[in-house]
Amino acid sequence: MTKQNDSPQRRKLPHEIPPWVRQGARHFITVNCRERDTDSLCRGDTAAQLMKSARLYEEIGRWYLWLMVTMPDHVHLIATFDLERGVRPVMKASKGYQTRKLHIEWQTDFFEHRLRNNDEFVEKIKYVRMNPVRKGLVSSPEEWPHVLDRSILETRQGEAVGGAKPPAEPPPSHPARPGRLAPPKREDIKNA
């Protein structure tokens, strides 16, 4: 007699981008360390090196980061990807680079959700920025040091109002070239 395994099984998530998704779409990504509930990412200079790695990927046109928050055992990103390259190959390459250079052991896959409108964008920004507070690491999001945040959140009559400011043009020393991801255009952001 064989015993049936009734425990939940993790399944691979599909990360294929539907053809109707336009360039400029924003994606919410979470990447977890293999070992959870351990400070693998915020000790020493690991968080700074992760940020440096993320900026390098931006410089070579793999993504544009709206927000990146490094937690002790996972990283959250909100990014615009070059959809011709795809999200999965870029994330796989990034994780592989960080494994080789920083000796980080990541879980095999990652969580990805395309943010369909500005309300979802604002909601995820709040969720990600509050993560260190919810975990009891700091008392306010501004205190957490491992953040790159290019979003704009204003408060009007006690209510958060979201908006994403398109980034400045790349500096002359790093012009957007064919094959590189240029900063998203305002009309792409509104329609993403």
CATH of the domain at 96: 3.30.70.1290
**Cβ contacts of 97 within 8 Å, gap of 6 or more:** 53
Whether 64 is in a domain gets the answer: yes
2, part of any domain: no
Mean pLDDT of 130-143: 95
The reply to whether 17 falls in a domain is: no
Span 73-89, mean pLDDT? Answer: 91
Q: Is residue 163 included in any domain, yes or no?
A: yes
Mapped onto helix, strand or coil, the DSSP state of residue 114 is strand
User: Model-level pTM?
Assistant: 0.73
Count of helices and strands (H, E) across the chain: 4, 7
Range(s) of the domain holding residue 42: 26-167+186-191
What integer is the mean pLDDT of 160-165? 40
Spatial separation of the C-alpha atoms in residues 150 and 160, rounded to whole Å = 16
Comparing 142 with 154, the larger pLDDT belongs to: 142
Q: Is residue 176 part of a domain?
A: no
Q: 33: closest CA among 106, 95, 88, 92?
A: 106
Please state the rounded mean pLDDT for residues 4-28: 67
In the chain, the number of structural domains is: 1
pLDDT at 145 over 90: yes
